[in-house]
């Protein structure tokens, strides 16, 4: 379980928290508008930022106080920003995920086997020898996720996994995440895409202006009123049960 206790963080004019939150095994989606503090929350969980006050524990360990290798075994991050990688092939990019288990990331047989399976799962086997920089946006997203999966951590955190993806790539990513969900992976997604959250989440946490607005199972939490309050835009529910912005 990931536990945030009175977690607070400030940077410039931005303030997150204090946040009290428990993320239980399964798929949790943190939903909120731009600037709500979703990525900062993930960075705090990962130990990338130091909180102003409060603390995070993952399976009982504070990520800021454990060794990098232990921390990597607790949580893996698929970041929002695709790094400007130059000159590295996709297979090598993904292989780095095995670093916590072996420093021979290119030659360790068990790491190579796990990497092969995950690249196949992420539909990236054909792109292994291709320069990472030449992949499409959707392929890069899947490569980032594949790298986090090779890490084989207790929790996999995905920051805006659908940003800049078209419908087909969105669908491919959703299928991959559903497969992972069925395999029992613990996932935490942050996104502003309510449809995507509805399609995958066991639990939804609304974040607004750095504070938890509400949380619950998708059917109960994803209401027009909650979406309107959190995103500051009008939503309507379709007869099929989808909640869409009113401009659609």
Partner 1 sequence: MNQKRCLVTCGVFLLCVFSLMVGSTAVSPGDALAALFGSEDAEARAALQTILDFRLPLLVQAFILGGLLAISGAALQAVLQNPLAEPYILGTSSGAAFGVTLAGALGLGSLFWLRSIFAFAGGIIAAILVFCSAWRRRGMLSPLALILSGVVIGAFLTAAGMGVQSLLDPFEFRSTIGLLLGSFHILNWTQITLTLVPALVAGALLRSRAVVLDIFASGYASAHSVGLNTRRELAIITALVSLITALSVSLCGIIAFVGLTAPHLVRRASGGRHARLFPAAFIVGGCFCVLADALSRLFLPWGQIPAGAFTALLGAPVFILALRSYGGSHDSL
| Binding residues for partner 1 (CB under 8 A) | 43, 46-50, 68-69, 71-73, 75-77, 79, 81-89, 92-93, 96-100, 103, 105-106, 131-134, 144, 147-148, 151
Task: Give the phi and the psi of residue 231 in degrees, each rounded to 5.
Answer: -95, -15
Q: Which is nearer to partner 1, 63 or 218 (CB)?
A: 63
Sign of CA dihedral 22, 28, 33, 38: positive
Structure tokens at 248: 């659609």
CB of 68 to partner 1, least distance (A): 5
DSSP output for 178-246: HHHHHTT-EEEEEES-HHHHHHH-SEEEEEETTEEEEEE-HHHH--HHHHHHHHSS-EEE-TTS-EEET
CB of 192 to partner 1, least distance (A): 19
User: 57 in the Ramachandran plot: left (φ > 0), alpha (ψ -120 to 50) or beta?
Assistant: beta
Sheet (strand 211-216) strand order: 75-78, 155-159, 186-191, 27-31, 203-208, 211-216
Q: Which is nearer to partner 1, 111 or 204 (CB)?
A: 111
CB of 116 to partner 1, least distance (A): 18
Query: Measured between alpha carbons, how far is 128 from 121 in angstroms, rounded to an integer?
Result: 13
- Residue found under tokens 């690249």: 119
CB of 156 to partner 1, least distance (A): 10
Q: Which is nearer to partner 1, 54 or 216 (CB)?
A: 54
Q: Which is nearer to partner 1, 132 or 231 (CB)?
A: 132
Q: Which is nearer to partner 1, 93 or 235 (CB)?
A: 93
Q: Which is nearer to partner 1, 158 or 243 (CB)?
A: 158
Structure tokens at 169: 């790539």
CB of 70 to partner 1, least distance (A): 8
CB of 87 to partner 1, least distance (A): 4
């Amino acid at each position: 379980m990931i536990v945030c206790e009175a977690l607070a963080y400030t940077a410039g004019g931005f303030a997150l928290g204090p946040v009290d939150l428990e993320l239980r095994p399964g798929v949790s989606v943190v939903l909120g508008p731009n600037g709500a503090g979703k990525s900062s929350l993930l960075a705090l969980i990962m130990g990338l930022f130091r909180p102003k006050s409060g603390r995070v524990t993952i399976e009982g360990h504070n990520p800021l106080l454990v060794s990098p290798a232990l921390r990597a075994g607790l949580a893996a991050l698929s970041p929002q920003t695709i790094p400007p990688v130059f000159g590295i092939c996709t297979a090598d990019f993904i292989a780095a995920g095995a670093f916590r288990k072996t420093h021979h990331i290119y030659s360790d047989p068990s790491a190579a086997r796990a990497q092969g399976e995950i690249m196949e799962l992420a539909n990236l086997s054909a792109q292994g020898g291709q320069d990472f920089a030449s992949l499409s946006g959707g392929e890069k997203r899947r490569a980032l996720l594949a790298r986090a999966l090779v890490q084989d951590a207790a929790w996999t955190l995905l920051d805006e996994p659908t940003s800049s993806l078209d419908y087909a790539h969105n669908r491919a990513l959703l299928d991959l995440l559903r497969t992972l969900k069925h395999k029992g992976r613990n996932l935490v997604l942050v996104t502003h895409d309510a449809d995507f959250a509805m399609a995958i989440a066991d639990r939804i946490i609304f974040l607004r202006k750095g504070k938890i607005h509400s949380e619950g199972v998708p059917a109960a939490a994803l209401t027009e009123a909650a979406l309107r309050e959190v995103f500051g835009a009008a939503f309507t529910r379709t007869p099929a049960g989808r909640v869409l912005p009113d401009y659609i």
